[in-house]
Chains A and B, each alone.
Chain A
């Protein structure tokens, strides 16, 4: 997550002190992403250099220094919120690579490999679900972050299920080895925003 834009968002609610910004940042992201103090202050300095925030010049650097957002800052924040993050290139997913390798290695039971990963993911999901029930009513941000994590892990489990089925079918009716001229996996997909 962009610390820069998170700080702008907090300042768009009104002027705040450095220390206060750090506490609020942590609270709003459900305390899932801890942030170090240094990061807050360096980011604030850069935002000020770029004219996106202003500070009370009277006070020296430190937790008591107050900041407020500028008109340019507001504009930057609005543009950032509407810009989709770059998801066009498939991530190098270690899980996917492990299953790909297992599916080609002789003497490896790929279904057992898949199951080991599936169990681990479901166990993680059990922990997140317990956390969700324990804290969801109290904190919207936290609940949203936990949901996102559950959906991410769920998509991996679903991919494992699909892979499992595909590999099982391929064992019955083997797929031809890769031929030259087959479409390559796209490195990047272009989509107009």
Chain B
């Protein structure tokens, strides 16, 4: 099943002489269980693509469908419910709320969605536990390391039963071991059936994806081919 579909989606910021075409006629679809990485230079439109996919911004033209439903046909309320229930979003700068503890940050979206505080906390604790952060649950964001904050942000994005996980530079300035840990988490969410889109300029992170698409000046200019078997690398000849 296709979870996310962008059809001829464009986004232009500003108007007249200050107009910035950030995204131009992008077609992209991501299936259940699939992890797609988006690579491209700074300013190529990666974050723009993600905010539009996450219904945080509206496209200037084109259509965005989540689980087969067009965002343009939804009411404001429907869209915010979609953001709470269906879409998990990891922001480029984590965006944790400073006044809330780790577990409060994680359980907030579920709580806002009408689940009781107690049940939401339980879900939040479970998500943190899965990321090895159970003992950090009652700490505030500024009492966590960068890597821990990042994992809390991911816990918040996968808590409950989300179907679409959108992550903007999820490894930030983390070292490669932490970067791998973050990607392993995202991968395992996808193995449970979540569709994932990860924006990154880091090829090592992108290489965790099933498919890598390359953005340039707001356009998708290229993408990787479907994988060969792992055996191919061990063949004596090496390069094809």
Contact = CB atoms under 8 A, between A and B. Distances in A.
A128 B233 contact: yes
Interface residues of A, number: 29
Given A127-B232, A158-B203, A122 B39 contact: yes
A104 to B, nearest CB: 22
B39 to A, nearest CB: 7
B207 interface: yes
B1 interface: no
A161 B43 CA distance: 13
Contacts of A133: 184, 187
B236 A129 contact: no
Interface string B201-219: 1111011110010101000
Interface string A139-154: 0000000000011011
B216 A111 contact: yes
Interface residues on B, range: 20 to 34
Interface stretch (B84-92, B124-132, B221-229): B221-229
A165 B41 contact: yes
Nearest to B208: A129
26 contacts: A32-B234, A34-B236, A115-B216, A115-B221, A115-B222, A122-B203, A122-B212, A123-B224, A123-B225, A123-B227, A124-B233, A125-B206, A126-B207, A126-B208, A126-B227, A127-B227, A128-B233, A129-B204, A129-B207, A130-B230, A131-B230, A134-B230, A150-B207, A153-B203, A157-B203, A158-B203
Interface of B: 39, 41, 184, 187, 201-204, 206-209, 212, 214, 216, 221-225, 227-228, 230, 232-234, 236
